Amino acid sequence: MSLHSVSVPATNWFVASSRRIPRRILQLLVLITWPLGNLSAAYHWEAIPAEHQAAKPKTPEATEAGAEVLLSRRRLSFSDSGITNEDFHRTIVYDERAAENVGRIRITVNLPAVLTDCEARITRSDGTVREYEMKDFSRTKAVERGRGGVARSGFVVDDNDHAVLVSGAELYQLAITDLRPGDLVECYQRVEENMGALNGYAGERLIQVQEPFPIRSLSFSIGSDTFGKNSGYQTGLSWCNLPNATQEKSGDSLMVRATDIPAYRKEKDAPPDQDIRAYIIMRLASGNFTFGFKNWKEFADYLTDEARSMERPTGAMKKLAAEIVAGAGTPGEKLRRLYDYCQRNITNYDFEDLPAGVHLSGAERRALTPAKALELRCGSATVITRIFVALAKAAGLEATLAITTRSNSMLRADRAAYGWKFMNEWVAAVRLDDKWNYYAPGMRWAPFGQVYWQDQGTAVLLAQKGKPAWALRPVITDTVNDVRTRQGAFKLSEQGALTGTVTETLSGQHAMVWRHRNKGKKPSEIIAFIRTQVRRELASAELSDIAVEDDRDNTHPVVLRYGLRVPDFATLAGGRIIFAHDVLNARARPRYTSTEPRLQPIRFPYGLIIRDRMEIELPEGYELEAGDAPHPVDHAENAGIKRTIALRYIPAKNLISSDSTLSIGLEGRILFPAKAYEALKTIFEQINKAETHTLVLKPKPGHIPAPAIPMVTPPPVIEQPEEPDNDPEV
Amino acid sequence: MIPRFESSAGRLKIIRFAIVAAACLPAVTMEAAAPPAWLVQDASVAPLPDQNQAEILRDETTITINGQGEWREVQRYAVRVRHSGGEKHTRMRVGFVDKSDEILAADAWLLPATGKRPTAYRRKDWANVADMNSTTLYTDIRWLAHIADTSAVGDVYGGEVTVIRRHNSGQDQLTFGGELPLRRGRLAVQVPAGWRPEIFWLKGRSVEPRVSSDGCVWTWELTDVPATRNELWAPRPAAPFYVALKIQPPPGTNTTIPRLETWADFARWNERLMQPQCDTSAQIKETAARLTAGLKDPWEKLEALARFAQKQNYIQQYENTGIGFGYRPRLASEVLRAGYGDCKDKANLLEALLREAGFRSHIAIVLVGIGRTVQPDWPGQQFNHAITAIELPDGLTHPAEITHPVFGRLLFFDPTHPWVPLGQLPWQEHGGLALIISGRETGLTQLPGFKPEQAWGSDTRIDLTLVPSGGLKGVLTELDSGEPAAQDRARARHASPAAKRDYWVKRIARSLRGIQVADPAGEEEAGGRYRTRLEFSAREFGQFVQDKFLLVRLDLLTRNTVPMFPRMARAQPVVIRPVYDAQEVRLPLPPGSAVPELPKASSLVSEYGQYSGKYTVVDGSLVYKRTLELRAATIPPERYGLLRTFLGQVAKAEATTVMIHLHQVSGADQVSGEKR
């Protein structure tokens, strides 16, 4: 009798005896003995079908990737003693360039799970076969976790001194270095999760199924001997972004099958992974654990109970709310005052330092209640949102908490199976004029009535018992508030250098993004950031006298001022001077360059308006020779994108003046299907053409141009180091 | 070659070597409870009035060497969180080698700013983490790491770790300071009477030691080291102080710590580690014979063997690191059987293969890294990479060979770099100092230098044709040498067809809109160069002005690529790599058109390189020629302004537009030839 066959009755014994032995002890015994019993449970390789032996790339993507997963099969089996997770892949190498990747097999195991088997088999195109057993894999204990911070935080510090996530406790690796086109690589792994990990578990797991290589055929199944009978398991399977998927039920097993899953490719302006990447959602509730939702109604009920416990106003809150709204004429005015109070009088430690004298450890922060936060005058974004709801209720407004998807995702959670998995951010809902409005005062830089761009377009679920109420927060391109204006006044020299000053005013989303990006930064770091941003567009730019006006009142714009000198701004063609009038975009590049077919939708972060007003005083002795203005770009109707331009030459002042406005995402159009890529690319090329449009100056009659660059530079002279720019206080 | 790790105190550790100590000290099992006096004292120091997220209050290492050469080390570290975001710095880590080093104690404490009771963390609260990256298959090099994730602004965190390094080479490297200000850094070394610790400041000003009256305790101290600003192209490591330490036992001492007075001492010590690993096997013999079968020319044989070693995958497998302390390669037979290895494994395998084919070669150790050079006056561990030095047989010569007083004519080759062919070296190694590992008496050897056009050369010709729609067609031929050629080979091998096209689209999109490219074609050229041919088109080109003029720039591939530095005081040197970029672009002028005025030619010379650019009209075509050459250099901060000025002038000279008059002009208006 093999060891493999011995292990089965051993496991069954624990199941049969479970009525007499305390469950916890059983779990422990199973944890200890399970891996031992399964150590030699060798995998029985299947015969490879003929169509796999001679497989050719089925899609252009497969050719592109250089390899293809012909078969991916995952199965989760449940029993009273745990979950067995089996994973099998069969991959064919089409091209040598993919051989190294395919040949590196890396299995990550998170404790307390145990890898009980991993094997690999190579089948050459000439029919020869090589097998690798578990002992051939290199095993490294990546992390032996302590009970301290590392274990709880789940990260360590890498060689670059960055904190990195610890992805697994143990690594099993195999390097097969001699793969050739036509070789088939099969890998099998079996991981056991003991009952202790499973018991009391309820929720949904997201299982990423997309790989660096396309998958021709995928199956994912769950089931067991006891499943669906007396085990108490509740399970379900669903999927997202898996177009060819089907579900089957066979006996006690549920299975999702899918075909032709493309490889994942990063693309510019793609929506967040959650919205586009293929994954399977597995729902599991086990043991005696009753938590879990079967449907949106159950979730809404849970939400309502949670919200009620969190938003109940205390006596102190009622008193405070009365003081804040005293004299306010309308509910809207009351709400604004409460909102402003929460943002201005309670330090939001997700965004700013704690007030002097207040110290909160991580544990204390996690345990902080709205009442205590109000007392300390500080809280997290979530706590501040709860305080706002409580104060609104105390002020007599109809208010409650609502829940939405995490930032930046436009995934319609309401339409996704087990969509509550994605609902993880609290917002405040207040009914005004018989309409629910949504607020996030915890978002420190969002003024009343506005939300972060990441929160636009997301589905919100109102906490209302028994009747899930959905709302979709719109995407708003606020052409009044979401504006960035840049004003520049410059003088162009005969040598082509441009010198002047720039004032930038950021409001709406621009200000929110600025403040969010620079939170916690030192003034010198903010100055460096401005310098970097400008130099990204104009590499030779020299900035001076950089000043930032930001009183951290989110109803006020952020104003940036700086002196700008670009020594090589204009190009000289003999006696002529050629320059781009749109100073800050003079060297911009088109937004999109890739000529490859687009796979994913295009999503702009948010709608934006940029108004530029640039004045350039021309050098003495020169006049405009060729004065074409760039063409306006208007695709507002079909793409929400528009650029207007007014270019003037004022000979009396020898001045070029330009006013341009670039609008993107008008009418909330920030999401486009992949097939729109070519059209969008062309539009942005038109914009780029307009932004880099050049004008030509010629010497006035009788003027002798000055030489721009010496023919040969004089012998080098050692320069004294330059003083650093002053870093003013922000 | 040598696995290293960095402790929380910001220190580079080399795997140390020593025989297992005869008597291990009893393990100390201190109970972590109240914070120690040193930490309480550190916490009482007034905070710095600056904006840094945190400040390091103490970074201290105390090393005690006993008569047998056993290395006992105590690390103390303390940090204060100053502002939001600084909480992430309340952490400590110490590197060690599994089954070789012994952690005797590891404690940490968090002292809340509120004065509440401190939190004590014991040994079991620390994590034991493998030092791995994507190329590591196995390692026994690990960190003991701790993070206090409940810290808040104002808190002081401190830790103390005691470790015995049973296998040590008596050498170490440490850094002090970095992105956070350091209030107090300290290195103390206690040695037996007659022993002596020697240090060399590889970076930062030298600090004189304080020596105890009996000459046994040596202490170096640093105070108030400001935070280092992150600067573009600065040397590594970024820490302002970088020090190498070696323990020198008295002559004749019975210890495994080597006495290193000369480079020959260090070479012999390495030889003892490496030489036994260069074994042979039937597979090695068969492989060498197979690779050289039918080849008569020794050069061809060398090429075949070198290419084979290069093709072995780069994978790190660090087993029994303590015994070999990171210098010892795996057995050549084992590396060949597995098909992978790291730098020293591959150099060792190549040596074994060459030997079977009748060639003599040696492992040579070198130092690579941005702005890093071996200090010749300090024999000891400064290296991080292994390559191969091949003794050229009589009758075989190569331009890159050097003549060595001991080994004769040598050709160096790096089997780790998969795409730099025999006869060349990766640019980071050019002109560097190598130590040839051999039992024979030898010092440092200077690796051959290469001109910029050999090290990082690119010679491009582009022939353009205007199309009636206003667009453009072009044929580009690029002949690369050195690193660009290596990148071409890597792209040809690993990149998908789309990725190859995308690479060229990105380069051309600097200057053209509406681009389409065909699949590029590449081929090897003589002299280790690589040629790429590409056809492309653009929907539009230049800017038409009132239907009379066409404004064009022909710097298609190089537009806005000249590195530009900000105008500000520089604290650290600037490291520049070699550049040789020559381009010739030809545009046949439309019938009847003329160029009324050509831009002035530019010729710029600096001690760091030179630039020339000019437009001419030749045979009815507008021709643009430009060459930029920079020599690899580490430029001191005081000369930064000069470099910045030179590159600024180059950028300005590059930005040249030509105005083409589209209508028929008289012959007198047509400019031809070179205009100066």
CA–CA separation, B101 and A581 (whole Å) = 66
Render pLDDT for B99-138 as a digit per residue (tens, 0 to 9): 889 999 999 999 998 888 999 999 888 888 888 888 888 8
How far is A132 from A38, CA to CA, in rounded Å? 17
Which residues on neighbouring strands pair with residue B534, listed in sequence order?
A: B476
pLDDT in tens, A500-520: 999 999 998 999 999 988 887
DSSP class of residue B393 equals P
How far apart are the C-alpha atoms of A430 and A325, rounded to whole Å?
Answer: 15
Tens-digit pLDDT profile for residues B483-499: 999 999 999 999 999 99
Say if residue A265's pLDDT is above 90.
no
Strand partners, B123: none
CB B121 within 8 A of CB B107: yes
Rounded Cα distance, A348 and A383, in Å: 9
In the predicted structure, residue A323 carries a pLDDT above the cut 50: yes
The pairing of strands A608-617 and A655-664 is: antiparallel
Contact yes or no for B581/B610 (Cβ under 8 A): no
> Residue B282 corresponds to which tokens in the numbers above?
């039937």
Say whether B317 and A138 touch across the interface (CB within 8 A).
yes
Inter-chain touch B599–A573, beta carbons under 8 Å: yes
Both tokens of A547, joined, read 């000043």
CB distance A192 to A113 below 8 Å: yes
Q: What is the mean pLDDT of residues A569-579?
A: 86
Indicate which of A150, A552, A594, A704 best probes the interface with B, i.e. most B CBs within 10 Å of its own CB. Answer: A150
C-alpha span between A122 and A467 (Å, rounded): 56
Chain B residues touching residue A575 (CB < 8 angstroms): 597
When the pLDDT of each residue in chain A is averaged and rounded to a whole number, the result is 81
- From A298, A304, A303, A300, select the one nearest A285 (Cα to Cα): A298
In the chain, the amino acid numbered A587 is R
Of the candidates B590, B566, B353, B244, the residue with the CA atom closest to the CA atom of residue A544: B566
The answer to whether the CB of A191 falls within 8 A of the CB of A77 is no
Return the residue in B13, B91, B548 with the most chain A beta carbons within 10 A, the one to mutate for interface testing.
B91
pLDDT for the residue numbered A551: 82
pLDDT tens readout for residues B273-292:
999 999 999 999 999 999 99
Q: How confident is the model at residue A13 (pLDDT cuts 50, 70, 90)?
A: very low
Give the DSSP H or E segment for A686.
helix A677-691
Angle of helix A381-394 relative to helix A315-325, nearest 10 degrees, comes to 80
With a cut of 50, say whether residue A153 has pLDDT above it.
Answer: no
Distances (CA, A) of B220 to A301, B186, B190, B235, B608: 66, 6, 12, 24, 38
Q: Across B87-126, where does the E strand assignment appear?
A: 91-97, 101-111, 119-121
Give the residue on B whose Cα is nearest the Cα of A103.
Answer: B313
Question: Is there a contact between A690 and A629 (Cβ–Cβ < 8 Å)?
Answer: no
Which is more confident, B593 or A2?
B593
CB B453 within 8 A of CB B580: yes
Residues A577 and A696: their CA atoms lie apart, in Å, by 6
For residues B249 and B192, what is the distance between their CA atoms, to the nearest angstrom? 9
Degrees, nearest 5: CA angle A102-A107-A109: 165
Secondary structure class of B299 (helix, strand, coil): helix
- Which residues lie closer than 8 Å to B588 by C-beta, 6 or more apart? B464, B465, B466, B620, B621, B622
Digit-coded pLDDT (tens) for B240-282 = 999 999 999 999 888 888 899 999 999 999 999 999 999 999 9
Of residues B287, B381, B278, B373, the one with CA closest to residue B327: B381
Cis before A355 (ω within 30): no
Q: Where are the beta strands (DSSP E) in A14-81?
A: 67-79
- What is B529-553 written as a DSSP string? EEEEEEEEEEEE-SEEETTTEEEE-
How many whole angstroms separate alpha carbon A96 and alpha carbon A76? 34
DSSP-based three-state secondary structure for A386: helix
To 5 degrees, how large is the angle CA A308–CA A311–CA A313?
A: 115
Contacts of B600 in chain A (CB under 8 A): 572, 574, 707-709, 711
- Closest partner CB to B641 (pick from A353, A688, A721): A721
Q: What is the mean pLDDT of residues B69-95?
A: 92
What pLDDT sits at residue B1? 47
∠ CA B41-B45-B49, nearest 5°, is 160
Contact indicator for A193, A83 with CB cutoff of 8 Å: yes
What is the rounded CA–CA span in Å between residue A414 and residue A437? 18
Nearest-angstrom CA–CA distance, A220 and A264: 19
The DSSP output letter for A712 is B
- Determine the Cα–Cα distance for residues A355 and A371; give it in Å rounded to an integer: 17
Condensed to tens digits (0 to 9), the pLDDT of residues A473-507 reads 878 777 778 899 999 999 999 989 999 999 999 99
Q: What is the dihedral of CA B496, B499, B504, B507, to 10 degrees?
A: -150
Is residue A629 less than 8 Å (CB to CB) from chain B?
no
Contacts of B124 in chain A (CB under 8 A): 146-148
Please give the pLDDT value at position B530.
97
Yes or no: say if A423 and A298 are a contact pair by the CB < 8 Å rule: no
pLDDT of amino acid B276:
95
Specify the 3-state DSSP secondary structure of A77: strand
What is the mean pLDDT of the segment spanning A268-284?
86
pLDDT of residue A618: 96
- Mean pLDDT over B39-54 rounds to 92
Cβ distance B492 to B522 under 8 Å?
yes
Q: Which of A679, A681, A602, A610 is nearest to A643 (CA)?
A: A610
B108–A150 C-beta distance less than 8 A: no
Smallest CA-to-CA distance from B175 within B385, B371, B322, B14 is with B14
Q: What is the mean pLDDT of chain B?
A: 89
Say which residue the tokens 């300090």 belong to. B378
Q: B567–A542: do the CB atoms touch at under 8 Å?
A: yes
B523 burial via Cβ count (<10 Å: 0-12, 13-18, 19+): exposed
Contacts of B419 (CB under 8 A, 6+ apart): B310, B485, B486, B487, B489, B490
**Pick from A347, A352, A353, A335: nearest CA to A448:** A335
Across the range A2-21, mean pLDDT stands at 26
pLDDT, average across residues A410-421? 72
Judge whether residue B317 has pLDDT over 60: yes
Question: How many A-B residue pairs are in contact by the CB < 8 A criterion?
Answer: 289
Residue A58: what pLDDT? 87
- Alpha carbon of A422: minimum distance to chain B alpha carbons (Å): 26
Contacts A720 to B, Cβ<8 Å = 641
Backbone angles phi, psi at B637, to 5 degrees: -55, -35
Q: Name the residue among A63, A360, A593 with its Cβ closest to that of B506.
A: A593
pLDDT of A247-262, one tens digit each? 988 777 889 999 999 9
Q: Is the pLDDT of residue A322 over 50?
A: yes
In single-letter form, the type of residue at position A696 comes to: V
Contact A668, A622 (CB under 8 A): no
**Quick check: A155 pLDDT over 50?**
no
Q: Which tokens sit at A183? A: 């070789």
Closest-CA residue of chain B to A679? B514
ipTM over 0.95: no
Is the pLDDT at A400 greater than 50? The verdict is: yes
Provide the pLDDT confidence category of residue A463 given band limits of 50, 70 and 90.
Answer: confident
Considering only residues A582 and A151, tell me which one the structure prediction assigns the higher pLDDT: A582
- Rounded CA gap, B345 and B317, in Å? 10
| Separation between Cα atoms, residue B196 and residue B253, nearest integer Å | 12
In the prediction, which pLDDT does A723 show?
40
| Gap between the Cα atoms of B534 and B480, Å rounded | 14
Residue A544 has pLDDT above 60, yes or no: yes
What is the rounded CA–CA span in Å between residue A307 and residue A313?
12
| Range name among A123-127, A181-185, A511-515, B5-9 with the lowest pLDDT average | B5-9
Give DSSP secondary structure letters for A497-520.
-EEEEEEEEE-THHHHHHHHHTTT
| Cis previous bond, B452, omega within 30 | no
Amino acid at B650: V
Most B CBs within 10 Å, among A95, A178, A525, A593, to test the B interface? A593
CB B28: neighbour CB atoms within 10 A? Answer: 8
| pLDDT above 90 (res A383) | yes
Average pLDDT over every residue of B503-527: 93
